[in-house]
Amino acid sequence: MCLEQSLNMESPSRKVSAEVRYSGPTLIIYRSKAHGDCRHAVDYRNNKADKSLTGGWKPALIISGTELCERIAGFAIAQNLITYLTGFMHLSLDFSANVVTTYVGASYMSFIIGGYVADTWLGRFWTLFFSILTQFFGLVLLTFTATFPTIRPPPCDDDTALVGDCETAHRWTLTVLFMGLCLVAVGIGSIKSCVSAFGADQFDISDPSEKTKLPKFFNWFFFVVSVGGLLAVTVLVYIQTHLGLGWGLGTLAIIMLCSLLLLLIGRKSYRYKQPTGSPLTHALQVTVAAFRNRNLPHPSTQEFQKDMLLYVDNPHAYIQHYNKDKSNFLFRFFDKATIIKVGPWETRKGDWELASLEKVEEVKRIFHLIPTMATSFLYYTVLAQMLTFSVGQSETLDRRLGSHFLMPPAVVGLFLHLTVLVTIPLYEVVVKPVLRSLTSHETGISMLQRIGVGLVFSVLAMITSALVEQKRLFIIAKLNFEDHPGIMLPMSVFWLLPQYFLVGLGEVFAYIGHMEFFYTEAPKTMRTIGTGFFLFTLAMGYFASSVIVYLVGSFSTQWLRSRNINTSRLDKFYWLMAGLAGVNVVLYILVSRSYTYTNELYTRELYSKGWTLLEHHKKLLSAWASSPLRGHLDEEQHGIAIGNPVELRLQIHQQKLREEDEPSNSKVQVRSSIVVAVDECESLPSIIRQEEVTLEVAIESLETPPQPQMALSLSDSV
């Protein structure tokens, strides 16, 4: 057997590549690549973070305070936007509703921008910094449109005038308005792509004492978010209603400056994760590499040739990322990205031509989250109705508190946020311990069960909304108020309380469940994509609302496109939403029942006789007595090397056993080319060596002899 080897070192122990050329189909892996991906957190000086000085609850709460300010600004706009568009810009109800849901959807969808910038160039801290500035400039533009009366259409003098009789806003006014909304949306999405992950970075999930704090962080993070929403629908909406929209938007701009200051205050206490490249790029590289090998047989098939090998980064990680989940086999195509064809080939393949099994499994794991996302986003479509049509309903209801105070229409959102603020502590203190005692589950119920409960509440909320709207329309018909939307009905606004209460309960379960699920179930190196999936789920819900409203308006002008809300059939629309939400619950149950959590992965056997790759390597390492590296890495440290993200390559060529030999007396001659690349981030020596050794392993020490043709290949049973 001919073996050529070369070692290229670009910088000491930071990025090392070891490439092996060979002739013959007996070696398993042809190259080793140590990326120098230091996943340790660092401090603001780029040194390894000291846990006693950085991270923990204090910086996490400071980061949550930044999100508090963003939530106040973003939600105050969303909650009062439909009133501004219909009452000041004189736009139609269905068009205004779609503007609101599109704005909110874009706010969540723009996480792609912030996430890519954070992962590729700036990191989460500086991405947050510039995102806050972007939102600030957007608020300045919105303040401009609301402050100068000359750029707004003239007000309707007659409160009972139909919306269609009022002069609508000019095109250029709407252009400036939408530009401001776009900047605010980009700022919000970019902040959200980083802020929860940045807060979670303050807890080391590899440390058992800190890992248990992460679920509590997500709960209290959402509690802070709800406080921001509460302040938005009370204090800020009151300012906008009684002092003027210009004062309200200007106050929001000042709040975002305070958010920037708060972020900078905690700069020295944060734990930072350095940007390592966008996971989106990695996913695309795997897809392209698999497409290049699309005509090759799958590694699990009989047609897989003996001269086709698989590129494996880390044997232990390879075993960990395989699981029993049936949906994993839906993405088997990506396995072809790992195939190496033995023979004349170039000395080095690029990332767009070959991917390791670890990277492929991470990408497959991300795709594995899509069914859950696709069957649970409709909750946020229901939530969108609380920002649009329910606010429109409240404008016609009796909003008086006593004889001197009239609630602004947007304040009805207070019902939702109060529900959340009361329910989260109650859930943590009372409900979770009871559920834990009943289910023996660490958190009471699983993350998917928590999301499912939220979806059920969304169905109940839409049924309640339809019944309340039927009562409102009955009163309108009885009093002949169809053409008088400006007259207050003798029906209290508190009739809307049940639907907001149910949606709020659903948010405690669905929103927090989604946030924790997508963060914890995403691979470690793709946690940003996990956060992005959470935000994308929200965006899909709001965009779906826009699509449904448009389609309903196209097929039936009576439901949503009548001359005002008093002549619409909003009750039928709510019944439609209840039906869609009910179907969605059924689909979600079917999908979630087949899901396997990351911590339930099992070890896939790579040898047909019961051997696993990890066991085989442990046997080889324990017998590795003559290696020059023995003085640097003892047997215990070899176990660490396998378990940690350290590059460890074993290239194995096995001699066939003679059939007449008794297994108890036989020995296997194993000729190995071993490449060890130790990253400086690990507590192991920074050495790079490649040695050829011949090992003699007694068969009697092994349960069954490994099958030579199966080494480092997927078994036929896969």
13: alpha, beta or left? (left if phi > 0; alpha if psi -120 to 50):
left
What is the predicted pLDDT for the residue at 27?
Answer: 24
Q: Is residue 706 within 8 Å of residue 654, measured between CB atoms?
A: yes
Alpha-carbon Rg for the chain, nearest whole angstrom, is 30
The four Cα atoms 69, 75, 78, 79 give a dihedral, to 10 degrees, of: -130
The domain segmentation of the chain, as residue ranges, is: 1-36+611-718, 57-275+369-599, 278-366
What is the predicted pLDDT for the residue at 304?
Answer: 52
What is the predicted pLDDT for the residue at 308?
Answer: 52
Q: What is the DSSP letter of 271?
A: -
Q: Is residue 317 within 8 Å of residue 359, measured between CB atoms?
A: no
Distance of alpha carbon 392 from alpha carbon 492, whole angstroms: 14
What is the predicted pLDDT for the residue at 349?
Answer: 58
Strand order in the sheet with 647-654: 647-654, 667-677, 688-698
What is the predicted pLDDT for the residue at 299?
Answer: 66
3-state secondary structure of 506: helix
pLDDT digits (tens, 9 = 90+) for 41-50: 888 888 887 7
Distance of alpha carbon 253 from alpha carbon 135, whole angstroms: 8
Distance of alpha carbon 448 from alpha carbon 588, whole angstroms: 9
Distance of alpha carbon 578 from alpha carbon 548, whole angstroms: 13
Q: What's the pTM?
A: 0.65
The segments of the chain whose pLDDT lies below 50 read: 1-38, 160-163, 305-307, 314-327, 343-348, 600-718
- Give the C-alpha distances (Å, rounded to integers) separating 62 from 125, 261, 568: 12, 11, 46
Q: Where would I find the H helices in 329-431?
A: 357-368, 370-374, 378-387, 389-396, 413-426
Strands 339-341 and 647-654: unpaired
- Amino acid, single-letter form, for residue 318: Y
Which CATH number is correct for 57-275+369-599, 2.40.40.20, 1.20.1250.20, 3.40.50.920, 3.40.710.10?
A: 1.20.1250.20
206: buried, middle or exposed (CB in 10 Å: 19+, 13-18, 0-12)? exposed
Distance of alpha carbon 614 from alpha carbon 379, whole angstroms: 43
Question: Per DSSP, what are the bridge partners of residue 7?
Answer: 18
What is the predicted pLDDT for the residue at 254?
Answer: 92
- Amino acid, single-letter form, for residue 187: G
Q: What is the DSSP letter of 236?
A: I
Which helix (H) or strand (E) segment is 431 a member of? none
